[in-house]
């Protein structure tokens, strides 16, 4: 799928945040904590690029999950661990607008790893949480 910012797979959902970059990050972390998720990593990809002498827009990769939701999926199919923990990217475009990208697990874990819909229900709640968080 092509957008004004580049091409991405159809499983990637992009949300525009009504908040600035730092506020969006803080709101996401608070919301994740509120649903019992653990933030396993927060990678500042712009900072990593700068350490190599390269320039990159503000970009943060957040890895998160809840073992109660992810473990049954990995038990059903060990290959699915490639998709877990879940991750999202918060990035800023050239006009200073903040965006949040995440993958739709119904399009990845379901068809690619044959995970049954009932196991995906807890992970699918993340989409609604993110939509509420960026508003």
Is residue 89 helix, strand or coil?
strand
Report the C-alpha gap between 131 and 25 in whole angstroms.
13
* Higher per-residue confidence, 9 vs 69: 69
Task: Tell me the per-residue pLDDT of 45-66, one tens digit each, with 9 for 90 and over.
Answer: 999 999 999 999 999 999 999 9
Phi and psi dihedrals of 70, rounded to 5? Answer: -80, -35
pTM score, whole prediction? 0.90
Instruction: Please say whether the beta carbons of 102 and 86 come within 8 A.
Output: yes
Higher pLDDT, 52 or 2: 52
Domains of the chain: 13-134 (3.30.310.70)
Write out pLDDT tens, residues 61-109. Answer: 999 999 999 999 999 999 999 999 999 999 999 999 999 999 999 889 9
Give the pLDDT of residue 5.
Answer: 66
Of the candidates 31, 32, 57, 33, the one whose C-alpha atom is nearest the C-alpha of residue 44 is: 57
């Amino acid at each position: 799928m092509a957008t004004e910012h580049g091409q991405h797979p159809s499983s990637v959902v992009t949300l525009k945040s009504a908040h600035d970059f730092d506020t969006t990050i803080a709101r996401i972390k608070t919301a994740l904590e509120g649903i019992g998720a653990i933030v396993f990593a927060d990678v500042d990809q712009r900072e990593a690029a700068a350490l190599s002498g390269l320039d990159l827009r503000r970009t943060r990769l957040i890895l998160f999950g809840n073992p109660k939701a992810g473990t049954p999926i990995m038990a059903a199919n060990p290959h699915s661990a490639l998709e877990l923990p879940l991750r999202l990217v918060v990035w800023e475009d050239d006009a200073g607008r903040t965006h949040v990208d995440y993958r739709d697990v119904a399009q990845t874990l379901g068809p690619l790893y044959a995970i049954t819909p009932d196991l995906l229900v807890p992970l699918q709640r993340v989409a609604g949480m993110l939509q509420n968080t960026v508003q």
